[in-house]
Chains A and B, each alone.
Chain A
Amino acid sequence: AQSVTQPDIHITVSEGASLELRCNYSYGATPYLFWYVQSPGQGLQLLLKYFSGDTLVQGIKGFEAEFKRSQSSFNLRKPSVHWSDAAEYFCAVGAPSGNTGKLIFGQGTTLQVKP
């Protein structure tokens, strides 16, 4: 079955520290991969996406993610976290052709930033 696993439900980091959020997926082929961020009471904002090509993708707000086919992973990273990064982060996968709007999301990782 197709699924997305975010092993860390909650992560706390200090402001200025580096961040890595994990994402593993199960899919028949290499899917399209996405990271979204959701602030409380808000909708989801796309941080970055991977369709093909360079396995290290850059996104908005200083985030990047690396696709590792051998590990079925798409981990999100940021070298220095800011207090405004506190939010919930969702990894998602979509079909590699056709309708890319039907996404399967992970459970999310809540990021707390300590001053």
Chain B
Amino acid sequence: GIQVEQSPPDLILQEGANSTLRCNFSDSVNNLQWFHQNPWGQLINLFYIPSGTKQNGRLSATTVATERYSLLYISSSQTTDSGVYFCAAYQKVTFGTGTKLQVIP
């Protein structure tokens, strides 16, 4: 099956810093989603982005399907951005390994 790898596995940022999270997938995919999992386990939709670039406030994402990767950009990070970020590739849904982000004041 498809393999989905995320990097870095762990990231510590000072509040206000910018970061880029990467998601690599081993085969072509039809769809890709980014999620933020809060400390209570809820997966919150960030982006549904099979290709191209989208922006939502301080967050943006880019998927280059032909090169099998997606990037999630977080600008001006806040402590509330802390948690685990997952990308998920479809159709037989495969989640990545996750990036655990901690933003410190």
Q: Do A and B interact? A: no
Taking Cβ atoms with an 8 Å cutoff, the residues of A that contact B are none
